[in-house]
Amino acid sequence: MVDDWRTDRIGSALRGENPTVLRRLDAGFAAIGDVQFLPGYSVLLVDDTGVERLSDLRKEKRLAFLADMDQLGEAVERASRRTDAAFRRINLEILGNTDGFLHAHIWPRYDWEPPDLVHMPVWLYPHTKWTAPQHILGPQHTPLREAIAEELDRLRSAA
């Protein structure tokens, strides 16, 4: 099945089969989000299929995961600022209510967002935004993928 990676995001990343992965980081994988209604949305996936929550990690690995989250957040911020003058900020979230594996959401936020949503959680966006064909990750997002990956490389080489 073509989308098997969607049912095993971490395992497929470990096997090099997850097409959303941008870079391997210290404690996980930087991946671009499946939907791009907020351009640059990315996800940090932990690199262990048995980890469900941050507290499952040893302290050293936990700190590495949080450092990876910071690094991906900064890379998305830099890429978003470079590609859209209306970039406002980054929202970082570790939720875990739906998917039973540790991951962090990196959401860029923009001044062009609807006034009733710009200051609200992303999860309040209508379902149509999450499923609209133009927002589903595809070849049209290649320049954005490349921009985030380049920023990750710059940050990692500067460290």
Per DSSP, what are the bridge partners of residue 91?
Answer: 107
Q: What is the pLDDT of residues 71-117, one digit of tens each?
A: 999 999 999 999 999 999 999 999 877 777 899 999 999 999 999 99
Q: How confident is the model at residue 22 (pLDDT cuts 50, 70, 90)?
A: very high
pTM to 2 decimal places: 0.94
Helix (H, G, I), strand (E, B) or coil at 56: helix
Indicate the domain borders of the chain: 4-158
Query: Domain spanning 4-158: which CATH class is it, in words?
Result: alpha beta
Q: What is the pLDDT of residue 3?
A: 59
Judge whether 49 and 19 are in contact, CB under 8 Å: no
Mean pLDDT for 57-72 is 97
The tokens of 51 are what? 């980890």
Q: What is the pLDDT of residue 1?
A: 42
User: What value does the mean pLDDT of the chain take?
Assistant: 93
